Amino acid sequence: MVGTTPGKRFPRRTVYVATAFALLAVVAGFGLASSFTVSQGSSINGGGVYHATNSIAWWNEASAGVAVVQTPLPAALSTTATAPTVLAGAAATYAVNTAVANDVAQYWKFTESTGAAAATELEIAFTVSTGATPTVTTQIVYVETQATSPTGALTFTIEYDLGSPATATITLNSVSQLSQECSAVGTCP
């Protein structure tokens, strides 16, 4: 016989008991498998009021993404409504929070068009959700357009430093951005 010592045979009772246990295991496996099902629960309905929005005609988001903070470090944007950061007369990069070289950053690129209103303040609120257990952070910054409208479209990159990939895994769950034109410089809602 194959797999046994010559002259040694298993008793019939052992073969029957082993077969019975094998069949029992197969039947139990099918029974357990059929008891585990995945089903969809009832629909969840949201509530609230939706307010339509319009982007500022001369301040449009061109793109968004994730990149590495470069050097030289970007200038920090003002967090004070009465002292907004005046936008440069050329394309530039700014930081929403403290920027550290080589950190991972969420970025937004905004295009200021030639029709931009002169010396107008913008309040820009950035909400970032990060981490396996999401931590939501909102940072509000204030920028002011130049004293005269630009002669050509300018692209401004605004970065939110998410942290160092060397110290921990970075999970970016969601991001949102809201821009609004203020009624006057120094007086934002």
Please tell me which residue, 2 or 139, carries the higher pLDDT value: 139
Name the pLDDT band for 43 (thresholds 50, 70, 90): low
Q: What is the average per-residue pLDDT within 102-119?
A: 94
CB 112 within 8 A of CB 93: no
Is the confidence at residue 4, as pLDDT, over 60?
no
In terms of pTM, does the model score above 0.95?
no
Is the confidence at residue 10, as pLDDT, over 70?
no
Instruction: Select from 122, 109, 124 the least CA-distant residue to 156.
Output: 109
Is the confidence at residue 37, as pLDDT, over 70?
no
CB 144 within 8 A of CB 120: yes
Range with the lowest mean pLDDT among 24-33, 60-69, 88-97? 24-33
Q: What angle do CA 66, 72, 76 make, to 5 degrees?
A: 70
